[in-house]
Amino acid sequence: MTATAAAASIEPASGDRSGARLPELSYFFPAHNEAANLRGLVAEALETLPALADRFEILIVDDGSRDETPAIADELAGAHAEVRAIHHPTNLGYGAALRSGFAAARYEALAFTDGDRQFKVADLERLLDRFARGDVDAVVGYRIRRADPLVRTLYAKAYRLANRIFFGLGIRDVDCACKLFGRASLEGVNVESGGAFFSAELLIKLSARGRRVAEVGVPHYPRTAGSPTGAKPAVVFRAVKDFWLLRLRLWATPRKALARGTPILGSR
């Protein structure tokens, strides 16, 4: 069983915004040793989100950070009623951090970016405007011009091709960390990967369930503080392992493979 490429539609970025607004929005981001970015990102979210939703929450998912991230997250949560901090005692991985954000989210729309500030919170409006048309279940961003070293861009192209060949996943930028989901689209969806394969697995399983996904271009900005971890050998190895485990299981027992993992959503 494979995901279908037809589940996604791609639309170019546009400066013509509808000004759509959500009744409620849960916004979260993973943070592993992002002390230098944390205050700025939360300040940006607090300034931006009131224009996008009537009610909102900001979830900081500290993934076992060893710098000042945990303390700053707690400080921000104590200072702002809209902010909550979630802590992993140890570093569990990117996918595990996203899973914690999804599970803790309380509202009907769920969106995330990364904690490294390579996406602007304001650019969630691009996704929101597309989502507001009501004909899709989720909207995922694709980086208009990727602000990463060449080697990471080449890895990303190879990864995209592998997902297309082995899963039929037609998403243009699988790992773009700017995504928006309607809560209903995630009901009944389980994801197993706790690493970098998380986003691909989620999109594969959404597509297998017939969820409608649109893609919208978003700007991507250079990292100005902190250090990236996505290209570390251990991270890449874990993603490759999870990729092949899912592919082999889908060949062997498709229904069981799609049901494996833990539910994306938590109880509210």
242 domain-assigned? yes
Whole-number pLDDT of residue 1: 45
Q: pLDDT band for 6, please (50, 70, 90 cuts).
A: very low
**Torsions phi, psi for 96 (to 5 deg):** -65, -35
Q: Total structural domains in the chain?
A: 1
Q: Is the pLDDT of residue 220 over 50?
A: yes
The CA distance from 158 to 192, in Å, is: 22
Q: Is the pLDDT of residue 5 over 50?
A: no
142 domain-assigned? yes
Q: Is the pLDDT of residue 174 over 50?
A: yes
Q: pLDDT band for 210, please (50, 70, 90 cuts).
A: very high
Quote the mean pLDDT of the chain. Answer: 91
**CATH number of the domain that residue 216 is part of:** 3.90.550.10
16 domain-assigned? no
Q: pLDDT band for 267, please (50, 70, 90 cuts).
A: confident
**Dihedral sign computed on CA atoms, order 70, 75, 77, 78:** positive
Query: Nearest CA to 58 among 120, 121, 116?
Result: 121
Q: Are 52 and 137 in contact (CB under 8 A)?
A: no
- For residue 119, give its domain range: 22-260
**Torsions phi, psi for 219 (to 5 deg):** -70, 155
The CA distance from 30 to 243, in Å, is: 21
1 domain-assigned? no
pTM of the model: 0.91
- 63-92 burial string, b = 16+ CB within 10 Å, else e? bbbeeebbebbebbbeeeebbbbbebeebb
135 domain-assigned? yes
Question: How much is the average pLDDT of 17-41?
Answer: 91
Question: How much is the average pLDDT of 168-196?
Answer: 96
The structure tokens 């971890």 sit at: 229
187 domain-assigned? yes
Q: pLDDT band for 184, please (50, 70, 90 cuts).
A: very high
231 domain-assigned? yes
153 domain-assigned? yes
